[in-house]
Amino acid sequence: MRFIQLTKGDIRFQYKYGFYFLYLIFSLLYISVAYVLPRDWRQTAVLAMVFTDPAALGLFFMGAIILYEKSERVLDALAVSPVKVSEYVASKLFSIGLISSLAALLIAVSSCLSFQPFYFISAVFMGSCLFSSFGLMLAAKSSTLNEFILSTIPFQIAINLPALAYLFGWQPVWLLIHPGASMIELMVAGRYRWPAFAVLLVSSGLACYLAYKVIRKMFSTLGGAKL
């Protein structure tokens, strides 16, 4: 119940601060770009756009969300409330995952991408949880926006480069160990979709667990005292 309330609060917050509006605008932009491109390129381009933007939005925005909550003392209030750290982390990941999935679905449907909804949504949602978990970990350790933005760069490179290489045709089977490549394979519902599903599930689950540990530590040191 608390998880639902927290998620509702997060969705309201994200709506108020324009996330839904922003992703509506960007989705329309991506759809327009998809139609301008030659038909042969469309599938690859749409997958690249979905992978690098809506799916990865948690890595971009989590810093601002957490730093704002720190400065407004929201976290201090939550720390002394019955809310569990796991519920806090889950609500953040779920609410961001929802925007990612909605935007990705809108782009995919409107640009006539051939896709299987279950695999596509699973890939985007789990990928979003992976990106957002890294965002949460980095945000917990940052004190300014610039510091957060810079700290995300190595993660963006580490996740994006192998995945984009996979998308653009370099597809050795062993590369599916990489969660980004698995996400691409699952989005297109390729031959190895079930191993890719397993890799993505395990890696995003592990990232969520690590994010939980980092946030729990952050909550226990709020206000300068160690609880």
Partner 1 sequence: MKAILSSFRVFIRQIVRDDMLWAVCLAPVLAGLFFRFAVPAADRWLAQTLDGELLLADYYLLFDLMLNLMTPYMFCFAAAMVMLTEYDENIAVYMAITPVGKTGYIISRLLMPGILSVPAGMLATGIFSLTDWPIGRLIIVSLLSSLLSLAVALLVVSFSSNRVEGMALAKLSGLMMMGLPVPFFIVSNHQYWFSVLPSFWIARLGVGQNDLYAVPAAITSVIWILILYRKFERKLSG
Q: Which residues bind to partner 1, rule: CB under 8 A?
A: 13, 17-19, 22, 25-26, 29, 36, 60-61, 63-65, 67-68, 71, 144-147, 149-150, 153
Shortest Å distance, C-beta 23 to partner 1: 9
Q: Which residues touch 214 (CB under 8 Å, ≥6 apart)?
A: 136, 137, 140, 141
- With respect to partner 1, which residue has the nearer C-beta, 10 or 185? 10
Q: CB-wise, 76 or 147, nearer to partner 1?
A: 147
User: Do 14 and 20 touch, CB atoms closer than 8 A?
Assistant: yes
CB of 166 to partner 1, least distance (A): 18
Instruction: Provide the minimum distance between the beta carbon of 55 and partner 1 in the complex, in angstroms, as a whole number.
Output: 15
- The string of DSSP codes covering 94-133 is HHHHHHHHHHHHHHHHHTT----HHHHHHHHHHHHHHHHH
- Provide, rounded to whole angstroms, the least separation between the CB of residue 146 and partner 1: 4
CB of 182 to partner 1, least distance (A): 26
Please compute, for residue 91, the number of CA atoms within 13 A of its CA located in the half-sphere on the CB side: 22
Return d(Cα 48, Cα 166) in angstroms, integer.
11
Nearer to partner 1, 73 or 213 (CB): 73
Query: 9 or 117: whose CB is closer to partner 1?
Result: 9
HSE on the CB side for 46, CA within 13 Å? Answer: 30
Q: At what angle do helices 117-141 and 85-110 cross, to 10 degrees?
A: 130
Closer of 71 and 114 to partner 1 (Cβ): 71
Name the 3-class secondary structure at 53.
Answer: coil
* N-terminal to C-terminal alpha carbon distance within the chain: 26
Contact present, 88 and 35 (Cβ < 8 Å): no
Residue 114 Cβ vs partner 1, minimum distance, rounded to whole Å: 25
Residue among 18 and 117 whose Cβ is closer to partner 1: 18
